[in-house]
Chains A and B, each alone.
Chain A
Amino acid sequence: MSVMTSAAVPPRIALVGNPNCGKTALFNALTGSRQKVANYPGVTVERKIGHFVSPLGRRVQVIDLPGTYSLRARSPDEEVTRDVVLGRFAHEESPDLLVCVADATNLRLNLRLVVELKRLGLPIILALNMMDAAEKRGCRIDAAALSAALGVPVVPTVAIRRGGVQPLLDQIDGAVALAAAADAAESPAPCCSPCGSPNGWSEPSSRELRAYHQEVEGLLARCVTDAGLPPVATRRVDAVLLHPVFGLAFLFLVLFLMFQAVFAWAEAPMNLIDGAVSGLKDWVAATLPDGALRSLLTDGIIAGVGSVVIFLPQILVLFFFILVLEATGYLARAAFLLDRLMGGVGLHGRAFIPLLSSFACAVPGVMAARTIENRADRLATIMIAPLMTCSARLPVYTLLIAAFVPDRPVLGGLVGLPGLVMFALYAAGILSALAVAFVLKGTVFKGAREPLLMELPAYRLPNPRDIALGLFERARIFLARAGTTIFALMIVMWFLASVPGAPEGASEPAIQYSIAGMIGHALEPLLAPIGFTWQIAVALVPGIAAREVAVGVLGTIYALSDSGDALQSSLAGALAASWGLPTALSLLAWYVFAPQCIATLTVVKRETNGWFWPAVMFAYMIALAYGASFVTYRVASALL
């Protein structure tokens, strides 16, 4: 009978545990690549689900829940863990089985959560993960005694070793069969309310929390015969990496290498993508007859989606660094080192990671802000993330610098003037972000900062499989977005830029007669005080979809037929001939601030559950952009 039920609905197990307990490694070991990431309805926390076939041939669904120290959720991530475990999501009962994952090298803290979860009355298996590391330290845990004392099965696992999860698989089979039988016996009638779900859960008081600790102390006294040595290596490494001087120097070295890699490693694949996109464009152009369809395909869809996909290599390199730094345990140290410095403008140490990601693209940056528990801290971080110079601004910066900044050595030949200007643009972004954060935290998001209470996990070597799966997931999410939202936007933008078409015998480029051209011309008087020509105004309209699109549009307006690097260099010449330096500087200042990225605004809408914050972001960034451009243009005009 239980076989019948399990054939109809595969049993669902959930992995629960502290952060850094190796839960995701265990999830990857169980499911391999048979996993997918989606969002929970209504919230934007990622929902990782996979499945595997147990030794007895049973198909089992696994959910990897965000790591937490307690069911009393503090962040949106932790709320998901609580709500899934308690069966609070609509159309989703409590899992049939909880697999509590505990780091065997840090049993005291990990068992605390197990004791709390045990109160729920759901079937539980305790997986003592990283048993190899615990044994290496001379730690002796009596699993049988622990199992007897806790009243739940206890299995040692080594998620990163081949075959290291076999005992867990065997145990899951037994437990699932037991749970199904119990279910069938308990509720012969079809049950609509969650059967045996922990409805009666309420937040434990501090008194109960202390009682859990007492219980854990009792368990440890009975079941751990030798506590082993503390992680000496981690402590020695931290003596350097958390040093007030050497630690900060090392952090900046890591950041420097990371940026270097984002640009150096990504260059070759980006050229490949660029070549493939223009190849595809040429092929479509040669195959289809001239007309609206060809224009939509080549200028709209292929060029538009291609201009976004080209950033995939940079995003992957950036995420490679972030995943490796996270897996080693260094990211928490970076937050520790920077907490006081970021606190100067009211930001949390954890804001460091989202802001760092935003240098590649604000979209993953805004999403990474989820790890910040406090809503005000999180919103402040989200609001300044787009001020970090993302890689989409680079084509514009490169173009304008090539056109207007003479390549001459400064500071005694140490750096070139173009490099210095580029650095100044990055610095302008960072400094204005800090200033905005300072103002926000002093006004709208007033109040004491969220406390910092962060575990610094022992250093570990990252597991290549986990890094590879993480990167694969990032690539898929990014490409899916390029294939849906951005795809749709590109069609809209193409429509604006090509309808209505140019009249017979028109001498000007077609875009000038289109809706985008009309909007651009209408905007011109508004943009004249900051030195923008009508050509710039027209380019800014489709540039709303994505910043770098403006370069292509300028190319169209100046009636150039080149593409890629050739477009950049010939366009630079055309621009240098037709714009004054104040206009160019003004446009650079505009690009430091302007919120020209629909993808960012939509992700902010998703993350904040409404249009209010994206509207605020758009308004304040436009105001900053206009102000900065105005000042730049006026000062430059007066001086030059």
Chain B
Amino acid sequence: MSGQSFPETGQRPGGRHLGELRKGQRARVTGVDETAVVTSLPEGELERRMIEMGLVEGSHVEVLHEAFPGRDPIAIRVNEHTLALRRAEARAVLVAPAA
């Protein structure tokens, strides 16, 4: 099923995540994998929250704004809505550059 989380988890060589995108960059979400993120949440919770907020395979994202200091958190456009999140947690969202 389309719902199966990606078996090839972890930082795939050459794979990018949302946390490293800079302002103005666009991408397509290819997977959600929270294993690389340190969080206070129970296992699987961050992934589910990301999906609920629209960060799911196939979504189009674009980094719109970066806060101060440290360009963190970031505001991203997810399809039609705008979402604020920290770069640390954005690592859980795997992306491929938009075609």
Q: Are B85 and A374 in contact (CB under 8 A)?
A: no
Give B1's nearest chain A residue, CB to CB: A207
Task: Chain B residues near A451: list those with CB within 8 A.
Answer: 39, 41, 46, 49, 85-86, 89
Q: Are A105 and B67 in contact (CB under 8 A)?
A: no
Residue of A335, A449, A458 near B40 (CB, 8 A) is A449
A194 within 8 A of B: no
Task: Chain A residues near B69: list those with CB within 8 A.
Answer: 244, 340-341
B80 within 8 A of A: yes
Within 8 A of B (CB), among A317-375: 332, 335-337, 339-341, 349, 374
Q: Are B2 and A453 in contact (CB under 8 A)?
A: no
Residue of B48, B64, B70, B85 near A235 (CB, 8 A) is B64
Q: List 11 A-B contacts (CB under 8 A).
A: A69-B53, A108-B54, A205-B48, A209-B56, A336-B75, A339-B86, A340-B67, A376-B40, A448-B40, A452-B86, A455-B83
Our count of residue pairs bridging A and B at CB distance below 8 angstroms stands at: 139
Residue of B49, B57, B66, B77 near A453 (CB, 8 A) is B49
Task: Chain B residues near A235: list those with CB within 8 A.
Answer: 64
Residue of A207, A339, A449, A457 near B4 (CB, 8 A) is A207
Q: Are B5 and A452 in contact (CB under 8 A)?
A: no
Q: Are A206 and B2 in contact (CB under 8 A)?
A: no
Q: Are B53 and A455 in contact (CB under 8 A)?
A: yes
Q: Are A336 and B84 in contact (CB under 8 A)?
A: yes
Q: Are A453 and B4 in contact (CB under 8 A)?
A: no
A106 within 8 A of B: yes
Q: Are A74 and B49 in contact (CB under 8 A)?
A: yes
Task: Chain B residues near A108: list those with CB within 8 A.
Answer: 54, 79-81
**Assembled-state Cα–Cα distance A242/B89 (Å):** 20
B7 within 8 A of A: no
Task: Chain B residues near A210: list those with CB within 8 A.
Answer: 2-3, 51, 56-57
Task: Chain B residues near A455: list those with CB within 8 A.
Answer: 53, 81-84
Residues of A within 8 Å of B, CB-based: how many? 55
Residue of A206, A217, A339 near B47 (CB, 8 A) is A206
Residue of A74, A112, A454, A458 near B84 (CB, 8 A) is A454
Task: Chain B residues near A107: list those with CB within 8 A.
Answer: 80
Give B41's nearest chain A residue, CB to CB: A451
Give A208's nearest chain B residue, CB to CB: B3
Task: Chain B residues near A453: list those with CB within 8 A.
Answer: 49-50, 53, 83-85, 89
Q: A207-B3, A208-B3 are in contact. Are A448 and B39 (CB under 8 A)?
A: yes
Task: Chain A residues near B67: list those with CB within 8 A.
Answer: 242, 244, 336-337, 339-340
Q: Hey, what's the 0/1 contact readout for A71-108 against B, CB within 8 Å counting as 1? A: 01010000000000000000000000000000001111
Q: Hey, what's the 0/1 contact readout for B12-28 against A, CB within 8 Å counting as 1? A: 00000000000000000
Task: Chain A residues near B73: list those with CB within 8 A.
Answer: 336, 339-340, 349, 452
B73 to chain A, nearest CB (A): 5
Q: Are A340 and B70 in contact (CB under 8 A)?
A: yes
Give B51's nearest chain A residue, CB to CB: A209
**Assembled-state Cα–Cα distance A374/B39 (Å):** 12
- Kindly list 15 other residue pairs between chains A and B, CB separation below 8 angstroms, not including A207-B1, A242-B67, A339-B84: A109-B54, A209-B51, A238-B64, A238-B75, A248-B68, A332-B84, A336-B73, A340-B67, A447-B40, A448-B39, A449-B40, A450-B40, A451-B41, A451-B49, A451-B86
Task: Chain A residues near B64: list those with CB within 8 A.
Answer: 235, 238, 242
Q: A337-B67, A340-B70, A451-B86 are in contact. Are A105 and B49 (CB under 8 A)?
A: no
A245 within 8 A of B: yes
Give A214's nearest chain B residue, CB to CB: B2
Give B50's nearest chain A residue, CB to CB: A453
Q: Are A213 and B86 in contact (CB under 8 A)?
A: no
B8 within 8 A of A: no
Within 8 A of B (CB), among A449-496: 449-458
Q: Are B52 and A112 in contact (CB under 8 A)?
A: yes
Among B49, B52, B58, B79, the one with the most A-chain Cβ atoms within 10 Å of its Cβ is B52
Q: Are A106 and B72 in contact (CB under 8 A)?
A: no
Q: Are B81 and A109 in contact (CB under 8 A)?
A: yes
B99 within 8 A of A: no
Q: Are A227 and B80 in contact (CB under 8 A)?
A: yes
A554 to chain B, nearest CB (A): 46
A218 to chain B, nearest CB (A): 12
A211 within 8 A of B: yes
A70 within 8 A of B: yes
Task: Chain B residues near A227: list those with CB within 8 A.
Answer: 80
A573 within 8 A of B: no
Give A339's nearest chain B residue, CB to CB: B73
Q: Are A452 and B85 in contact (CB under 8 A)?
A: yes
